[in-house]
Amino acid sequence: MSEAALSTRIALVGSPNCGKTALFNRLTGSRQKVANYAGVTVERKEGRFVAPSGRSFQVLDLPGAYSLEAASPDEAITRDICYGRFPGEARPDVLVCVADATNLRLHLRFVLEVRRLGQPMIVAVNMMDAARRRGITIDLQALEAELGVPVVQTIAVQRNGAAALIAKLDVAGRAPAPGSETPNDLHAEVRRLLAATVRMPSRTAALDDAIDRVVLHPIFGLLLLAVIMFAIFQAVFAWAAPIQELVSAGIGALGATVGDWLPDGPLRSLVIDGVFAGVGTVLEFLPQIIILFVFILLLEESGYLPRAAFLLDRLMSAAGLSGRSFIPLLSSFACAIPGIMAARSIQNPRDRLATILVAPLMTCSARLPVYTLLIGAFVPRREVAGWFNLQGLVLFALYVAGIASALLISWMMKRWRRGDGERSLLLELPSYRLPNLRDLAIGLWERAHIFLRRVTTVILALTVILWFLSSFPGAPAGATGAAIDYSFAGKIGHFIQPLFAPLGFTWEICIALLPGLAAREVAVSALGTVYALQAASDDVLTSQLSTIVASQWSVATGLSLLVWYIYAPMCLSTIAVIRRETHGWRTAGFATAYLFALAYLASLVTYQVAVLVFG
């Protein structure tokens, strides 16, 4: 028998904010695998652990749901797996229903819904530490007797906090829950259970009230939000810079060592001009991506993100979005793919569509390599008004341009599709929580892992292909121009250049745009490869790419390419994820077309104006 057949399959279910994912991390540690459910892009998180007895368990972390009467694609998955009717997923052997001890009134109702299924289940009353601090006492034994299913306490953020749950799982033979005993009026039953088993001195945490008075204040709240956003972007650029320089120097030194060791010839060119010049450049952006995700995860874990959504809902709904769009759009600053996937928590189809369509306009971290290269090359490092740096201001302006365009476009879409039903918000603002370092580390590792996997697979492969296209065929004997002019890549670049000539793009840029479709940052590594091959001497490494670019392109070309990258859908994975999320090519095709049209127009205007201004 296979290992999978021997182990017990358990699924964690529970309402949003019950601490389910923290409990999942506690149970499985780093032994987890993130993928998608067949046919949909809802994240499927699975892990495993071995109990003290040696029994092994497979744990599935189901999407959070308030009810099995699903109201969103996420909740539908949870419902279908609980009923055992999701294609390709076996029905779990045991359902572990997680409830927040401080929010039992809401979560017990869901527990009762799950009990109604009549399957083996365990109720995990989570965050017992927080409940105790607030003076809440829960008689778990009485609750177990009333529910007729095992009830255990868990503290997901503590070592051994899941010991009681593991012990309860680690016994043979499980009785199905007495599903038919569940009365019809679940709310009345919850009230009865609470009266019989829970003593609660106050309905809310005093701390939450105090923090919310400031955080949700009409003036201070908005100010605080602005300060937090500014601090994040400042940190992403200021703090990451020294680490990036270290990474860059390290890669440079490694490249030089390897270069000395390899004999002259195509292999050396592949390693130095292809791999080191290409992939190395992209790797330098890992620190920025990690810092951005540290902040996003911190805000998410602490409970602040829904507050930001509360503050911005009215503003965003005027622009045809919703407060719920804030979280997907903020994630899109790191990468549009998780952002577009996060949009499935938006119940209203129109808001969800608008969010998906404008998410690619948020400046993702993959654009940073392109922006930093071009800004470094074309914008002078000058103080402005004694406080700001001109380069920083230009970068800020590029972010603002993306956001402003997104608001404008969603507003236009709202005008076109007027009067199509009511749009709801219905967002829970959970209790504030101190972020847990372990959960933060696991979340960060997940993100870094996805990025590194991309670098070592897609980006590496494309860099090698591009190196090949740029190196062969070699220059004929007696040729005067650079060798790359005669290569396949040179021919392709020259062929498509007329289309982009009105935007001021050179044929080298045109070559870089093509592999850049796989991932925006590849454009930089491609330029690195193209210019490294073009250069007479071998010692031209990526750190000097900015100097080469500055000397070979006009200012107008640089600015035009910057503007191009605000809009251009230069990322096939984003298009693919839009197609999957919207079940068809229609929306994905529309997104591609409108973004390309915008990019072309904006770059055209930028270039023509810049030529007039800078000559």
Partner 1 sequence: MKLCDLAVGESGTVRTVEDNSPADPTARRLRDLGFVGGERVRLVARGPIGREPLLVQVGFTRFALRIAEAGRVRIDRTPS
Residues that bind partner 1 (CB under 8 A): 66-67, 69, 71, 102-106, 109, 187, 200, 203-204, 212, 216-219, 221-222, 306, 309-311, 313-315, 317, 323, 422-429
Query: ∠ CA 329-335-336 to the nearest 5 degrees?
Result: 55
State the nearest-atom distance from the C-beta of 226 to partner 1, in Å: 12
DSSP-derived pairing of the beta strands 56-61 and 8-14? parallel
Query: Are the CB atoms for 346 and 496 separated by under 8 Å?
Result: no
Measured between alpha carbons, how far is 523 from 543 in angstroms, rounded to an integer?
A: 15
State the nearest-atom distance from the C-beta of 314 to partner 1, in Å: 4
**177/427 with CB nearer partner 1:** 427
Overall residue count recorded for the chain in this entry: 615
Residue 347: strand, helix, or coil: coil
Helix or strand (DSSP H, E) at 99: strand 94-100
State the nearest-atom distance from the C-beta of 422 to partner 1, in Å: 6
State the nearest-atom distance from the C-beta of 112 to partner 1, in Å: 12
**291/311 with CB nearer partner 1:** 311
Residue 330: strand, helix, or coil: helix
**69/264 with CB nearer partner 1:** 69
State the nearest-atom distance from the C-beta of 343 to partner 1, in Å: 18
State the nearest-atom distance from the C-beta of 64 to partner 1, in Å: 13
**56/317 with CB nearer partner 1:** 317
**390/425 with CB nearer partner 1:** 425
**103/372 with CB nearer partner 1:** 103
State the nearest-atom distance from the C-beta of 299 to partner 1, in Å: 16
Task: Give the bridge partners for 125, in sequence order.
Answer: 99, 153
The four Cα atoms 335, 338, 574, 353 give a dihedral, to 10 degrees, of -120
**133/314 with CB nearer partner 1:** 314
**263/421 with CB nearer partner 1:** 421
Query: ∠ CA 360-577-29 to the nearest 5 degrees?
Result: 105
Residue 464: strand, helix, or coil: helix
**204/257 with CB nearer partner 1:** 204
State the nearest-atom distance from the C-beta of 135 to partner 1, in Å: 13
State the nearest-atom distance from the C-beta of 110 to partner 1, in Å: 9
Measured between alpha carbons, how far is 515 from 531 in angstroms, rounded to an integer?
A: 15
Query: Are the CB atoms for 27 and 49 separated by under 8 Å?
Result: yes
State the nearest-atom distance from the C-beta of 306 to partner 1, in Å: 7
**108/240 with CB nearer partner 1:** 108
Using the 8-state DSSP alphabet, how is residue 175 labeled?
P
DSSP-derived pairing of the beta strands 94-100 and 121-126? parallel
**54/218 with CB nearer partner 1:** 218
Using the 8-state DSSP alphabet, how is residue 17 labeled?
T
Burial (CB count within 10 angstroms: exposed 0-12, middle 13-18, buried 19+), residue 418: exposed
**109/454 with CB nearer partner 1:** 109
State the nearest-atom distance from the C-beta of 24 to partner 1, in Å: 22
Phi and psi at residue 261, in whole multiples of 5°? -85, -30
State the nearest-atom distance from the C-beta of 196 to partner 1, in Å: 17
Residue 581: strand, helix, or coil: helix
Helix or strand (DSSP H, E) at 26: helix 20-28
State the nearest-atom distance from the C-beta of 102 to partner 1, in Å: 6
What long-range pairs does 109-112 form, CB within 8 A, spacing at least 24? 109/67, 109/186, 109/187, 109/190, 110/13, 110/14, 110/15, 110/65, 110/66, 110/67, 110/68, 111/147, 112/182, 112/186, 112/189, 112/190
Query: Are the CB atoms for 553 and 506 separated by under 8 Å?
Result: yes
Its sign, for the CA torsion 505, 549, 261, 248, is negative
Burial (CB count within 10 angstroms: exposed 0-12, middle 13-18, buried 19+), residue 433: middle
**109/520 with CB nearer partner 1:** 109
Q: For the residues of 221-271, what is the DSSP string, one character each? A: HHHHHHHHHHHHHHHHHHTHHHHHHHHHHHHHHHHHHHHHHSPSSHHHHII
Radius of gyration of the chain (CA): 27
State the nearest-atom distance from the C-beta of 123 to partner 1, in Å: 17
Using the 8-state DSSP alphabet, how is residue 40 labeled?
S
**19/255 with CB nearer partner 1:** 19
**70/475 with CB nearer partner 1:** 70
Residues near 172 by beta carbon (within 8 Å), at least 6 away in sequence: none
State the nearest-atom distance from the C-beta of 198 to partner 1, in Å: 10
| Six token digits for residue 341 | 């996937």
**140/308 with CB nearer partner 1:** 308
State the nearest-atom distance from the C-beta of 204 to partner 1, in Å: 7
